[in-house]
Structure 1
Amino acid sequence: MTELKHKHLMTLTLSVDFAGMMVIGQTPAGLRRIAPVTGGSFSGERLNGKVLPGADWVINRPDGVMEIDVRLPLQTDDGAMIYLTYQGRFLAEPDVMARFAKGAVLKPEEYSLAVTAKFEAGAEQYLWLNDVVAVGTGEQTADGPVYSFFEIG
């Protein structure tokens, strides 16, 4: 069996306006909410800059899983714009999800936050991002999640 080749791509730190979350309501897919991402930063060996305003389109499914669908514009330190989108899920036991829903900051071992990411870049120095397959893991903080993204292959 071959080992999965991967390398750290970047750490993404988000600021989320939890108080400004828009509640769409109960839909056939689950409870739909939109969480405004107000900013943040990203840093890695080849990728550094700031996060511009975006959002997380969240669904809390009837089975207790929280699906995330994040779309963000990134601005690199050299002024290039990159579009980042990632989807994934936040898994925890029902009692932990209940605490999370009330705003509790959880211990990393109480949940699993995993995502797959896609980048779109037009600036020549970042065209390589268009072909990157990336996965990430996240940790919850009081201000928003912090993700470690890894380039696969």
Structure 2
Amino acid sequence: MATPLFEDLPPALQRVQARPLFVLRLDVKPIVTVGDTPGPFRRIGIVPSGTFAGERLAGAVLDGSSDWQTVRSDGSTMLDVRLVLRTGDGVAIPMSYRGIRHGPADVMQRLDKGEAVDPAHYYFRINPIFEAPKGRYEWLNRVLAVGIGHRFPDGPVYSVFEVL
């Protein structure tokens, strides 16, 4: 059986469509390097604060969030992040995401040193999942989201999109 080419598929299956959900900025304390463990090389970023803003929701990131990073032997960094978003009207929404950041070794070394790097020179993507309570924001529980990231010295910024 032949695999259909994209142009042979219905238009709805030929491209991913998305709309902006919000921009997320995280403040991250200096990375805690655990180092080699029985499993991966581990780093942890403690997230004391941040903000998010979009057309349908905006607010702050609560203290106590964290970014558990696995640095792989190929130089890629895998992210495992847990955040609590607090909307402007006081609703707490847990958000978690997995992600990957990689690029040429010299670019990644510059990022690790806190130097400015053009986001076009490396790959940084996430896939957020939400656990909103019943009410105004429960629609988030049925959203598949993707984010494009950029790392600044004090933390990342993400453009987060709802996949339609």
TM-score, length-scaled by structure 1: 0.92
- Among 99, 105, 110, the alignment partner of 2:121 is 110
Alpha carbon RMSD of aligned pairs, Å?
1.3
Q: CA deviation at 1:28?
A: 4.9
Kindly report which structure 2 residues correspond to 1:1-150, keeping only aligned pairs within 5 A, or say none.
1=6, 2-18=14-30, 21-53=31-63, 54-150=65-161
Residue 154 of structure 2: SS of its match in structure 1? coil
Query: Which one has the bigger strand percentage?
Result: 1
Structure 1: give runs of 5+ residues left out of the alignment: none
**In 2 relative to 1, CA 65–29 (structure 1 residues): closer, same or farther, beyond 3 Å?**
farther
C-alpha distance in structure 1 between counterparts of 2:19 and 2:80, whole Å: 23
Q: Deviations over 1:34-77 (max 9, x none)?
A: 10011010001111000112010011111110111111001000
Q: Which runs of 4+ in 1 moved over 4 A?
A: none
1:133–1:151 contact (8 Å) kept in structure 2: yes
Residue in structure 1 matched with residue 10 of structure 2 by the alignment: none
TM-score, length-scaled by structure 2: 0.87
Aligned pairs, number:
151
Larger radius of gyration between Structure 1 and Structure 2: 2
Identity %: 42
Structure 2: give runs of 5+ residues left out of the alignment: 1-5, 7-13
